Chains A and B, each alone.
Chain A
C-alpha cells in the first residue's frame, strides 16, 4: 500500500540558512499534519492543513511557514535556522472524515550545524 512520502530523508544545514521539507500524503488523503521530534523527545504538533487551508497551529516558530498545494502535498519552510531546530520532522496524512487516524511518513532528519 502507498505510504506518506517525505523528502529529503536527511538534510544538513548551517545556522541562519533556510530549509524546505516536502510531504506527499497517501492518495485520497486530503489532510496533512507536521510534527517535530527533538532528540529523545515526543513528537510535538506544528501545523495542519485541510483542503489547502491551515486548520490548526501548534508550537510552530514564526520562522517556519507551511502550505498545502492543490495536489495535497505540503511543504514546510524553515528560515534563519537555529541549532535547536535539529530534529526529526514528521508529516502525517489522513482523510478528513476519519482524521483521528493519522499515517506517518518516515520523517526528515534535519541537522543544523
Chain B
C-alpha cells in the first residue's frame, strides 16, 4: 500500500541550527511528494513539492530532494528561526479515481528556541 513515515518529534533546536526532518515513503507507481506546514491553530500550508525523481523542491530556505533510490524526501533548512516553529507533514499524492488524494505522515513538531 501507500504510506509515509517521518521522524518522530518533537525536534528542539536553537535558532540558526541546521534542520533535517526525515521522510520515507512506500508507494505504487510514481507519486508526487510534498511538505506541508501547520502553524499553531492554523490550517495546512504547502511548503514545497517535487513531482518526479531527482526534483528538488525549495521554498523559504527549506529544501527537499525526491530520491527514488532511497524512497526518501527529507526536509532540510540551513538556519532555522523561531518563526519556523510548527508541525511539518510529509505527504505523497496518489491517484484515486479522477483525483489525487494526499497521504500524510504523522507529523513532526519543530520547536526553535531563541
Binding site for B on A (CB under 8 A): 31, 33, 35, 41-45, 48-50, 53-56, 58, 90, 92, 94, 96, 99-107
Contacts and interface: CB of A to CB of B under 8 A. Distances in A.
Interface residues of B, number: 23
A42 B89 contact: yes
Interface string B20-46: 000000000000100010000011111
A48 B49 contact: no
A36 to B, nearest CB: 11
B102 A105 contact: no
Contacts of A49: 99
Q: What DSSP secondary structure best describes chain A's contact surface?
A: strand
Interface of B: 32, 36, 42-46, 49, 51, 89, 93, 96-107
A99 B99 contact: yes
A55 B98 contact: yes
Contacts of A42: 89, 104-107
Nearest to B44: A104
A63 B105 CA distance: 26
Contacts of A92: 44, 102
